[in-house]
Amino acid sequence: MREPETPYLVVDVPRLQRNIDRVAAAAAQADVRLRPHAKTHKTAEIARLQLAAGAVGLTVATVGEAEAYVDQGVTDLFVAYPLWLDPRRARRLAALSDRAVVTVGVDSAESAANLARWLPGQAVLVELDSGHHRTGVRPRQAGEVASAASDAGLDVLGVFTFPGHGYSPDGRDVAARDEADALHVAAGSLRGVGIEPRVLSGGSTPTLQAALAMGVPTELRPGVYALNDAQQWELGSATADDIALTCQATVVSHAGGRIVVDAGGKALAADRAPYNSGAARLLDHPDAKVVLMSEHHAVIEGYDGPPPPLGSRLRLVPNHVCAAVNLADELWADSGTGLERWPVVARGRNS
Binding site for its own copies (CB under 8 A): 2, 4-8, 39, 61-62, 81-84, 86, 88-89, 107-108, 110-111, 114, 127, 129, 133-138, 164, 250-256, 258, 260, 262-263, 265-267, 269-272, 292, 294-297, 299, 310-311, 320, 322-323, 326-329, 348, 350-351
Q: Taking the CA atoms of 256, 260, 266 and 269 in sequence, report the sign of the dihedral they define.
A: negative
15 or 231, CB closer to its own copies?
Answer: 231
Nearer to its own copies, 27 or 182 (CB): 182
Q: Cβ 205 to its own copies, closest distance in Å?
A: 14
Tell me how far apart the alpha carbons of residues 22 and 218 are, in angstroms, rounded to a whole number: 18
Q: Residue 79 in 3-state DSSP?
A: strand
Q: Following DSSP, what letter does each residue of 90-149 receive, concatenated?
A: HHHHHHHHTTSEEEEEE-SHHHHHHHHHHSTT-EEEEEE-SSS-SS-B-GGGHHHHHHHH
Q: What minimum distance in Å lies between the beta carbon of 346 and its own copies?
A: 10
Phi first, then psi: what are they for 243, rounded to 5°? -80, 115
Can you tell me the distance from the alpha carbon of 209 to that of 204, in angstroms, rounded to the nearest whole number?
A: 10
Give the span between the Cα atoms of 203 and 184, in whole angstroms: 14
Work out the burial of residue 267: count CB atoms within 10 Å of its CB; fewer than 13 is exposed, 13-18 middle, 19 or more buried: buried
**Virtual torsion, Cα 133, 137, 141, 144, nearest 10 deg:** 170
Indicate the residue among 167 and 233 with the shorter CB distance to its own copies.
167
Give least dist CB 225 to its own copies, A: 16
Q: Is 301 exposed, middle or buried (0-12, 13-18, 19+ CB in 10 A)?
A: middle
CB of 52 to its own copies, least distance (A): 26
Least distance from C-beta 207 to its own copies, angstroms?
15
Residue 212 or 325 with smaller CB distance to its own copies:
325
Min dist. Cβ of residue 14 to its own copies (A)? 26
Q: In whole angstroms, how close is the CB of 241 to its own copies at the nearest point?
A: 26
Q: Which is nearer to its own copies, 58 or 263 (CB)?
A: 263
In the bound state with its own copies, the residue whose beta carbon lies nearer, of 309 and 336, is 309
Closer residue to its own copies, CB minimum distance, 239 or 351: 351
